[in-house]
Amino acid sequence: GAVVSQHPSWVICKSGTSVKIECRSLDFQATTMFWYRQFPKQSLMLMATSNEGSKATYEQGVEKDKFLINHASLTLSTLTVTSAHPEDSSFYICSADWDTEAFFGQGTRLTVV
Amino acid sequence: AQTVTQSQPEMSVQEAETVTLSCTYDTSESNYYLFWYKQPPSRQMILVIRQEAYKQQNATENRFSVNFQKAAKSFSLKISDSQLGDTAMYFCAFMKPIYGGSQGNLIFGKGTKLSVKP
């Protein structure tokens, strides 16, 4: 099966700083990737759809200026949490589809202190 | 908008027994996919089983099978011969293809925490 790699697995940052999370499709090309957010003991909520070579599509209520998404190549999408605050602490997961199946990264646990 | 409902926040089953997890969904679409994902403590999302809405036959994958009732918009997961390694969160998910059969985003239910007891 296809492999999606997400990095880092966990990160701790100070309030007010920015953090970049990478999502790579290792053995296939992905024109579309998805970014989800998961709060403790809750489900995954779609944040945005990342489109290669064009602007991301954000879900209602997601601040596009805070969660910057860049999909510069067919194998890499990045999510940058800008000016992070403690309420941004969460588990972030990316996915990409191959052969009509979604493959997920390992997730990134972000803690803002 | 599509919604997915899992009415069982937690369930437990004895090892080697059978358990059924419930899922209902709401959509006006005729073509879509349904999935069950497993999320163990590592939090890696693992596909358990998928069902295409246009297929009447229920999908099966080894010990996992579904009961897909399209008219009732119901998609339950049956786990037979439960094993300790089945302990995890289970999410039911809906997906409408966006173009050319490509994957659209997944809409998840709130999940069911399954505990398999020895």
Chain B partners of A106 at a C-beta cutoff of 8 Å?
Answer: 42-44
Percentage of chain A with pLDDT > 90?
83
Q: What pLDDT does residue B57 have?
A: 94
Give CA–CA dist A9/B1, Å, rounded. Answer: 32
Tokens at residue A70, please?
A: 């860049």
Beta pairing partners, A23: A6, A77
Q: What pLDDT does residue A75 have?
A: 94
**DSSP code, position A88:** G
Helix H, strand E, coil C: the string for A17-82 is CCEEEEEEECCCCCCEEEEEEECCCCCEEEEEEEECCCCCEECCCCCCCCEEEEEEECCEEEEEEC
Query: pLDDT tens-digit profile of A10-51?
Result: 999 999 999 999 999 999 998 889 999 999 889 999 999 998
Q: What pLDDT does residue B30 have?
A: 87
Please answer yes or no on whether A104 and B44 come within 8 Å at the CB atom.
yes
Backbone Cα Rg of chain B: 14
Please answer yes or no on whether B103 and A102 come within 8 Å at the CB atom.
yes
Q: Which of B47, B102, B108 sits opposite A43 (nearest CB)?
A: B108
Q: Are strands B19-21 and A108-112 parallel, antiparallel or unpaired?
A: unpaired
Q: What pLDDT does residue A2 have?
A: 86
Per-residue pLDDT of chain B (118 residues; tens, 9 = 90+): 889 999 999 999 999 999 999 999 999 988 899 999 999 999 999 999 999 999 989 999 999 999 999 999 999 999 999 999 999 999 999 998 776 555 678 999 999 999 999 9
CA A81 to chain centre: 9
Q: Which of B45, B97, B98 sits opposite A104 (nearest CB)?
A: B45
User: Is the distance from CB of A24 to CB of A76 less than 8 angstroms?
Assistant: yes
Q: Is A81 exposed, middle or buried (0-12, 13-18, 19+ CB in 10 A)?
A: buried
Q: Which of A32, A93, A100 sits opposite B45 (nearest CB)?
A: A93
DSSP class per residue in A102-113: EEE---EEEEE-
Q: What pLDDT does residue A97 have?
A: 84
Tokens at residue A33, please?
A: 């990737």
DSSP class per residue in B42-83: T---EEEEEEETT--SPPEETTEEEEEETTTTEEEEEE-S--
The upper half-sphere exposure of residue A15, i.e. CA atoms within 13 Å in the direction of its Cβ, equals 4
Give CA–CA dist B4/B32, Å, rounded. Answer: 13
User: Is the distance from CB of B106 to CB of B35 less than 8 angstroms?
Assistant: yes
Interface of A with B (CB under 8 A): 32, 34, 38, 42-46, 49, 91, 93, 95, 97, 100-102, 104, 106-107
